[in-house]
Structure 1
Amino acid sequence: MATAALPAQTGQVHSATTAAEKYRGAVVEDLQLQPAFCVKSSETILRAIEQAYERDFSHIPVLDSQRRPLGYIEVATLKERWEAGKADASDKVINYMTRFKRTASQPYTVITPYTPLAELEEFLTRSIFAIVTDPSRKFVVALATTHDLETFVSRRGF
């Protein structure tokens, strides 16, 4: 069987092939992510900041009373606001979170433990992190970042 190297016709085709080869069929579950840490929208910012630093998280998903993601808080920004006196420790995180945009024209991208890493990488070109949910989208499993992908690739020597 003979093989020949053909030049890529477009960068898009080449990059898709590269991503598939880079991850060799691995899925999000293979990243071995830490379990997710989330806060309720009614949680105080002091408690959220303390818990984020205990777990070394930079972003925390904010959930409603039915455990659905509403948005997220960026811990460093929230801490800066608090230290500058622009937020009170007893304020609720819902007042400082970035809301997810949920529209018919911009639906959620579902990322589960079984999502291929090539798809996760593509998603992370548009987002700073991905919320990984169970396949039925009932609860948050983990958060994934480009750093997680880089660590995976370096560990595996891909």
Structure 2
Amino acid sequence: MAQAQLTPTVMPPKTLTDRYRGAVIEDLQLPPAFALPYTEHVSRVIELAYDREFSHIPILDKRRKPLGYVEVARLKEKWEAGQIDSNDDVSKYMVKFKRSSTVPYTLITPLTPLNELEEFLKNDIFALVTDYERKFVLAVATSHDLEEFAKRGGF
């Protein structure tokens, strides 16, 4: 009887998918998103941001679609320097999302794999997690969220 020869199994290099073992954004257990309407006054935005210790806040239009975000530290800095009227609408100071045919929109949902989120966050400071139709902002995900998840999961 001939002996079967065992050939070593060559494992593919470890990929980002392996790193998170198939986990998706909902596995991060992110708190619900905190977003504000574009008509909110600067003074209220600063107050709410510091109460919750947020550094960036998504800004929404009247249909709750994301328009952009405000960098809280920069907003507060301008306010303290007297460069902003506290009754101004936050939309005057937000960073607008780029929407064009040359800049594709990356849909990030609760079921987006964490490896895709990690790739996205290489070029962006946070990701807005939305429903599939992009009607509602559900959460905000950051690199810090990924790092904490990796620590908890031993990745």
* Fold equivalence (TM over 0.5): yes
Give the corresponding residue for 1:77. 74
Question: What is the aligned-residue RMSD (CA, Å)?
Answer: 1.3
Q: Deviation of residue 136 (structure 1)?
A: 2.4
For residues 63 and 4 of structure 1, the distance between their equivalents in structure 2, rounded to whole angstroms, comes to: 50
Aligned ranges 1:133-148 → 2 under 5 Å: 133-148=130-145
Q: Which has the larger radius of gyration?
A: 2
Q: Deviation of residue 41 (structure 1)?
A: 0.6
Give the corresponding residue for 2:9. 3
Normalising by structure 2, we get a TM-score of: 0.92
For residues 41 and 144 of structure 1, the distance between their equivalents in structure 2, rounded to whole angstroms, comes to: 21
Give the corresponding residue for 2:128. 131
Give the corresponding residue for 1:37. 34
List alignment gaps of at least 5 residues for structure 1.
7-13
Query: Is 2:95 the counterpart of 1:98?
Result: yes
Count residues with an aligned counterpart: 149
Q: Deviation of residue 18 (structure 1)?
A: 2.8
Give the corresponding residue for 1:9. none
Amino acid at match of 2:87: S
**Ranges of 4+ aligned residues in structure 1 off by more than 3 Å:** none
Aligned ranges 1:83-122 → 2 under 5 Å: 83-122=80-119
Give the corresponding residue for 1:27. 24
For residues 27 and 90 of structure 2, the distance between their equivalents in structure 1, rounded to whole angstroms, comes to: 32
Name the SS of the counterpart of 2:58 in structure 1.
strand
Q: Deviation of residue 4 (structure 1)?
A: 3.1
